[in-house]
Amino acid sequence: MDKFFFTLALLVYCVSFVGFFIHMLTLRKEAKRWALVVLTFGFILHGTSIGARWIEAGRPPFVSFHEALSLVAFFLAGLYLLLEIKYRLKTIGTFVTPIILVTMGAAAAQPQKIVPLPPALHSVWLPIHATICFVAYAVFALAFCISVMYLIQERQIKQKRLGGLFRRLPSLDALDVMNERCIKVGFPLLTIGIVTGSIWAEEAWGRYWGWDPKETWSLITWFLYAAILHQRLTVGWRGKRAAIMTIIGFCAVLFTFLGVNFLLHGEHSYATGF
């Protein structure tokens, strides 16, 4: 049942991406409006799939790699919709939906069967810790998108090539402000995510911090974003430098989220092999 809704959501997200793409090409407002409606519909389907899986598994669906990817995509779609309701930013959809699609695609490629939860991980902290971390990842993914757009637009203006893309992207200041907002929301979330994680670790493994690769890398990520925020607030780092830093920060997020899982092994690995 959850698989059916998941596949449907993936297809609907594809349609929404096509809509955003058409909007980017033609700048027709209706295209964007429809793309947003379709995306909302996909978001609801996606939520249904996650809910169905929760019921089916009898535990929060935050355990396997498939589930983790699916959740990040879900939060990213939700966040983008929120942002759109609040700020109405020209063509961000065209940049965000591909990331949603890639994440969903990766989730679809993972084994989807429901694996049992190791008894050590049974805790209320599982949904709390995982949700907070995944939302933080989604926020950073959004900041990444915005930074990429910033760098493209910055380059166009710097080199005085004011073609079609220039007209279609938002203004530099708007992108920079949005980036700042994302970091200001994402950083506290990441902090809380790490804190709740260590509380849970104490409960499950009897230690707050064990320098497990995932823990180490999340700390590195935390320091990177702390540096971005610090520099912005004290020296006024912004614009291009902030955008590049945000992209580097997101690479660290990716490594914490994925790399640690595949390259290094620790107790945090998603339960694919169980």
Partner 1 sequence: MPRGFDKRDAIVLIGVNHKTAPVEVREPMALKGLDQEPLELFRSVDHVREVLFLSTCNRVEVLFTSSSPGKSLAGLKGIWAEKSGLPLGVLEEHLYEYRDEDAIRHLFMVASSLDSMVVGEPQILGQLKDAYRHASEQKTTGMVLNRLLHKAFSVAKRVRTETKIGSQAVSISYAAVELARKIFGELGDKVAMLIGAGEMAELAAQHLRAGGIKRLIIANRTLERAVELSHELGGEAIGLDEIEDAMIEADIVISSTGAPGLVLTKEQVKRTMRPRRHRLLFLIDIAVPRDIDPGVNDIENVYLYDIDDLKGVVEENKEQRAKEAKKAERMVEAEVLKFLSWMKTLDILPVIQGIQAKAEAIRKRELERSRKRLGGLTKEQEEAIDVLTNSIVQKIIHDPIIVLRKNASNEEATEVLLDAATTLFNLDSDL
Closest CA to 272 of 52, 116, 78, 50: 116
Among 141, 174, 229, 245, indicate the residue that binds partner 1 (CB under 8 A).
174
| Interaction of residue 170 with partner 1, rule CB under 8 A | yes
| Interaction of residue 237 with partner 1, rule CB under 8 A | yes
Q: Which x/- pattern, by CB under 8 A, does the window 124-163 give for partner 1?
A: -----------------------------x---xx-x-x-
| Interaction of residue 179 with partner 1, rule CB under 8 A | no
| Interaction of residue 167 with partner 1, rule CB under 8 A | yes
Q: Is the CB of 10 or the CB of 92 nearer to partner 1?
A: 92
Selected range binding partner 1 among 41-49, 114-122, 179-187, 229-237, rule: CB under 8 A: 229-237
What is the 8-class DSSP label of residue 264?
S
* Type of residue found at 41: F
What is the 8-class DSSP label of residue 159?
T
State the DSSP string of 91-156.
THHHHHHHHHHHHHHHHHHS--SPPPPPGGG-STHHHHHHHHHHHHHHHHHHHHHHHHHHHHHHHH
Q: How many CB atoms lie within 10 A of CB 261?
A: 19
Find the shortest distance in angstroms from Cβ 15 to partner 1.
25
| Interaction of residue 86 with partner 1, rule CB under 8 A | no
Closest CA to 221 of 98, 139, 103, 163: 139
Find the shortest distance in angstroms from Cβ 132 to partner 1.
32
Q: How many CB atoms lie within 10 A of CB 236?
A: 9
Count of residues that bind partner 1 according to CB under 8 A = 20
Q: Which residues bind partner 1 (CB under 8 A)?
A: 153, 157-158, 160, 162, 166-167, 170-174, 176, 235-241
